[in-house]
Amino acid sequence: MINFLIVLFGVTMLYVAATSRIEAYVRMLVAQGLVLFLLVVADWQSFHLFNLLFLAVETLGFKAIIIPWFLRRVVRRNGVFRELEPYIPNFFSVVIASLIFAFGFLLAYGSLDFARDIKPLYFGVSVSTMLTGLLVITTRKMLVTHVAGYMMLENGIFLLSLSMAREMPLLVNLGVLLDIFLGIFLLGLFATKIKSTFDESKIDALTHLRD
């Protein structure tokens, strides 16, 4: 069951690499939030009750509901539904994302010899998710997509820290704490200022400061 969830998590990232519809990114963020929630619930023995509640609220409430809801509102209000002219075509994004996944699993299984009880599936998918998140940030132009890519990067990190939950519960909470902090900050900046000042919320609009 857990393995199935993690694979599902990986598939959402491949879909993100393939599509250019921003609402699809938002939907995938919801899916990732749900998967992370289920993973936390499935691993309930690793956490104290209070900690478990905290993580459940964070994954379900914050990652799966608030942030996607907010992003969708921004998308609707701006009336920009598609990622136009990404720096590289979607086809190549998928190829690169697939290569990233291959690399992630090679790394995970290759490192089994050195690792003390590492979970290769967790590790492979989370590393691939982080790299794909970076890929999304660097190859797409819309600011909404950048925020979505950043959230995916953080989801990947969250997955990685979950694999360490039993040894280092502190890490999971640290990551969560700043997830919330950062998400609010990024979105606050985004919603209040960026939209009203830039005609289009494209990264292209942010190229006046240059040398």
Query: Counting contacts by CB under 8 A, is residue 178 touching other proteins?
Result: yes
Report if residue 193 touches other proteins, rule: CB under 8 A: yes
Q: Which residue among 61, 86, 120, 175 contacts other proteins (CB under 8 A)? A: 175
Computed on alpha carbons and rounded to an integer, the radius of gyration of the chain in Å comes to 17
The yes or no reply on residue 150 touching other proteins (CB under 8 A) is: yes
177 binds other proteins (CB under 8 A): yes
**Distance in Å, CB of 82 to other proteins, minimum:** 22
The Cα–Cα gap between 123 and 107 comes to 9
* 125 touching other proteins, by CB under 8 A: no
The whole-angstrom separation of Cα 106 and Cα 98 is 12
Residue 134 sits in the site that holds other proteins (CB under 8 A): yes
Q: How many CB atoms lie within 10 A of CB 155?
A: 26
How far apart CA 142 and CA 140 sit, in angstroms, is 6
Dist. CA 80–CA 178, nearest whole Å: 29
> d(Cα 72, Cα 38) in Å, to the nearest integer?
23
Block residue for tokens 């494209």: 202
Tokens matching residue 81: 């539904």
Shortest Å, Cβ 122 to other proteins: 11
Cβ at position 159, least distance to other proteins in Å: 10
Q: Note whether 164 binds other proteins by CB under 8 A.
A: yes
Min dist. Cβ of residue 193 to other proteins (A): 6
Residue 72 interacts with other proteins (CB under 8 A)? no
Whose structure tokens read 């990986």?
10
DSSP letter (8 states) at residue 164: T
CA-nearest of 26, 11, 9, 12 to 142 is 26
At position 176, the amino acid (one-letter code) is: V
For position 169 contacting other proteins by CB under 8 A, the verdict is no
Per rule CB under 8 A, is residue 189 in the interface with other proteins? yes
Minimum CB–partner distance for residue 54 and other proteins (Å):
16
**Contacting residues toward other proteins, per CB under 8 A:** 111, 114-116, 118, 130, 134, 137, 143, 146, 150, 153-154, 157, 160-161, 164, 166-168, 170-171, 174-175, 177-178, 181-182, 185-186, 189, 193-194, 197-198, 206, 208-209, 211
